[in-house]
Every structure is written in C-alpha cells, then in structure tokens.
C-alpha cells in the first residue's frame, strides 16, 4: 500500500540523515497517536511490550507471529508514525523468518529487526543468553532480505554479540550481516565507547543501538559513529501499568485517584472530531 511505502521512506530518511534520534516506545494505537502528536519521528514496538499488552506475560518468547503482526497492524492502521518492530528471532528458522517478513510487511511496519540470539532459550540455557552460529544468523538475515517485496521496507540485522562474546566477534558478525544486504545494523548491549568505535568501523550501514553502556547516551557523539537511532527503554508501558494500578486501587479503596487524562487529550487521541464529522456526513438525516 502506498501509505506504507511513504512511512518506510520517512524511516529511511532518518537512517540516511546525520543525527541520532530516539523513538517513542509504543504498544497500542493510542500510544502511537500520542507519540505522533507530540512530534516523535518514529516509534518502536518491542517484543517485550507486545507480550505485556497482548498476553499480560513477560518477555519469554511466548507471543506468536500472528499475535505480534496483528498488534503491529492495529498500530499502523491508527497512526502514520513510521514503526520499527522487534521481530525477535523471526519465530523460528530462516523459512519462518521469511514468513515473519511477509506478515509484518503487510501489517504496515516501516522496519523490522531479526536477531541472532538463540530463542526461545533451550533447556539448560536459563543462566544466560546464547547466540546462534554465525552461519545460521547469516542465513536468517539473507532470508529476511529476500522475503521483502517492498524495496522501501527496512530489514535490520540485530545482534547481542558485543555483550555475549565481545567486540571482535561482534565486528565479524556486523561485517557479515552488512555484506548480506540488510539495511541497518541493530546493536544490543554495546558496553562502552571503545567497543562502539570499533564496531562502527566494521560497517558503513546506519546503526541502531539499545541497552548500551552508560557512556553511550550522547546523541552527537553517537551520530558521528553512524548511529541514527538510540533506544531509551520502554518506560511508556511501565508508567501506564503504574497509573492503571494506582487508579484501580484508589477506586477500590475510595481514595483520591491519580491525575486522569483530560477531556481534551482523550478527544484528540481518540480522533473524536473526525468521528463527529463522519457521523454528520454519513449518519445524519440532513
């Protein structure tokens, strides 16, 4: 659809720009609309926040592809915010990755990441994250790139190698994924500036980072290294959970509720003016 390609081109403009931005962490249509209204350039739907929203479950790879794609589709339908989604391990092997790309492309996402972590954790691996072999991770990236039908869709090769196996191993994977034809590199857990600078040298692709070390927060420094998107966590859903719990508790106890959304904010977020106009145009006797 034309509107999906337009959003993807806007996301590409971010990746091809020269500044480092932080996306809004969104998890449903309302949060996406609010982020768009505030002025965020893009949003991210994480596997963790989707699992919380759809299943009320922690991030243990319990969500199915269909459930995840449906949530992404709801967000895309309700907002024009370019959406980056965390597609985890692609829900299986390289062939499952191809199916994942097909579903998420038709759901309207602007970009998706496929990671090389061994997910869900196999028996006996509860003590820490493990990586797929380089060969299998590379196969998944190649499968993702081959499966897209809209050339504007962004495929990000995602790796946590820096925190699991170190900088040199991460550079090797980044070079391989870059050569495989992905559009961006998504790094998780880069510990410090020394590692970030070495990994940046390994690719000419734009970089997305998340869960990085404490000295990797300066957007100007990061932009000089090719970082175009820096995640800032998923505080939106944590704040929403706290507000909902506190309100329910206050109503149950008969105490004063926390501040509530104003009528103006609710009207804007729910697009009440649009619906009033449609009611007048299509349901009125006039």
Instruction: Compute the distance between CA of residue 53 and CA of residue 51 in angstroms, rounded to an integer.
Output: 6
List of the chain residues with pLDDT < 70: 125-127
3-class SS of residue 77: helix
pLDDT of residue 126: 62
DSSP secondary structure, 114-145, as one string: EE-B-SSPPTT-TTS--BPPHHHHHHHHHHHH
Strand order in the sheet with 207-210: 24-25, 43-45, 83-86, 111-115, 154-159, 184-188, 207-210, 227-230
Report all structural domains of the chain as residue ranges with CATH numbers, in order of start: 2-233 (3.20.20.60), 240-282 (no CATH)
C-alpha closest to that of 23 among 107, 79, 67, 103: 79
Q: Is residue 198 a contact partner of residue 167, using CB atoms and an 8 Å limit?
A: yes
Q: Could you tell me which of 57, 117, 132 has the C-alpha nearest to residue 86?
A: 117
Residue 129: predicted pLDDT: 86
Q: Which residues sit opposite 209 in a β-bridge? A: 187, 230
225-264 confidence digits (pLDDT tens): 999 999 999 999 999 999 999 999 999 999 999 999 999 9
């Amino acid at each position: 659809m034309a509107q999906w390609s337009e959003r993807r081109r806007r996301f590409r403009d971010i990746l091809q720009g020269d500044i480092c931005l932080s996306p809004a962490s969104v998890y449903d249509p309302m949060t996406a609309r609010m982020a768009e209204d505030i002025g965020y350039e893009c949003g991210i739907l994480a596997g963790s926040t989707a699992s919380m929203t759809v299943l009320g479950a922690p991030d243990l790879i319990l969500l199915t592809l269909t459930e995840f794609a449906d949530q992404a589709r709801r967000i895309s339908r309700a907002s024009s915010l370019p959406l980056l989604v965390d597609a985890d391990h692609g829900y299986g092997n390289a062939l499952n990755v191809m199916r994942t790309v097909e579903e998420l492309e038709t759901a309207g996402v602007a970009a998706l990441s496929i990671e090389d972590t061994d997910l869900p954790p196999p028996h006996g691996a509860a003590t820490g994250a493990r990586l797929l072999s380089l060969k299998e991770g590379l196969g998944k990236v190649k499968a993702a790139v081959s499966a897209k039908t809209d050339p504007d869709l962004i495929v990000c090769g995602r790796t946590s190698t820096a925190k699991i196996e170190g900088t040199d191993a991460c550079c090797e994977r980044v070079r391989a994924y870059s050569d495989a034809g992905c559009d961006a590199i998504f790094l998780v857990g880069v510990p410090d500036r020394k590692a970030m600078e070495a990994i940046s040298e390994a690719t000419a692709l734009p970089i997305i980072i998340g869960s990085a070390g404490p000295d990797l927060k300066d957007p100007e420094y990061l932009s000089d290294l090719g970082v175009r998107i820096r995640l800032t966590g998923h505080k939106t859903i944590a704040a929403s959970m706290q507000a909902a719990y506190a309100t329910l508790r206050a109503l149950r106890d008969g105490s004063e509720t926390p501040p509530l959304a104003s009528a103006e904010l609710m009207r804007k977020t729910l697009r009440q003016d649009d619906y009033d106009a449609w009611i007048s145009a299509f349901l009125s006797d006039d």
